[in-house]
A and B are shown apart, each in its own frame.
Chain A
């Protein structure tokens, strides 16, 4: 039961963290100037956004939860399960960021999910 909770935290907090970072970057707006000086000027703007800090905190939570679950479960089981984060990411994109996830994109996400799980299981 505890392992299941940890799995949920790894997937939920990991994807949630990335979604928060995505939301922060959407708030910054489309980056059009890629010169190093312009990119450096972005740093303080990004660091002032609460979504960025929420994202980093959630991603750190997911990382330490992953370490915890790896201490009790087999890697060959844990890592493929984390491939579910691609499904969670599409759901988060749709409901949290308001993106249009078309059937074609869902199909792609499903294939990626399955493929990632097979790649990790098939390490031999």
Chain B
């Protein structure tokens, strides 16, 4: 965890500092959001949750869900994502953070292609390029346009 308390890193008050901490938290969102979803999906498949048709059967899965390390890692990742999201919104524009965090879609496609060796269709690559261009354009606007403390 960062140690940027009052007085420890005063340069964070500058515009460069604002950009740095905004980029850092959006980076955490882009990493931990998709990672959390993937881990939760993997964890639920590992415990075989897909065949549960009744409420009683679903309740019977609870102990297995609560003892699954993969699911706890997924929950931890999504928690990290949500904390980063809320923190960055305390100073940055929503209309800046929302499109910038769409870089996660590009990240998932890249991970799917290079790590999971999945086939990524040309249409999907075009989409990734458009998202990256859009995020770049949004990134060239100031993260904060409102006046608040």
Contacts and interface: CB of A to CB of B under 8 A. Distances in A.
Interface of A: 18-19, 21-22, 25-26, 28-36, 38-39, 46, 85-86, 89-90, 92-94, 97-102, 104-105, 107-124
B148 interface: yes
A28 B127 CA distance: 36
Interface stretch (B30-38, B39-47, B65-73, B118-126): B118-126
Q: Return the 6 tightest CB-CB contacts between A and B, nearest first.
A: A93-B95, A118-B127, A111-B134, A122-B123, A115-B130, A108-B137
B95 A112 contact: no
A33 B9 CA distance: 10
A31 B91 contact: yes
B115 to A, nearest CB: 17
Interface in B66-88: 83, 86-87
Interface of B: 1-6, 12-13, 83, 86-87, 89-91, 93-99, 102, 105-106, 109, 119-141, 145-146, 148-149
Contacts of B106: 119
B124 A109 contact: no
A118 B6 contact: no
Contacts of A92: 94-95
Contact of B146 (A85, A98, A112, A115): A98
Nearest to B147: A98
17 contacts: A19-B94, A21-B89, A22-B94, A25-B86, A25-B89, A30-B90, A35-B1, A46-B86, A92-B95, A99-B95, A100-B145, A108-B138, A112-B99, A115-B102, A117-B127, A119-B109, A121-B123
Contacts of B95: 89-90, 92-94, 97, 99, 101, 105, 109
A26 B148 contact: yes
A21 B134 CA distance: 24
Given A39-B87, A114-B134, A115-B102, 6 more contacts: A35-B5, A89-B94, A97-B95, A108-B137, A116-B105, A122-B124
Nearest to A91: B95
A101 B138 CA distance: 10
B141 A33 contact: no
Nearest to A30: B91
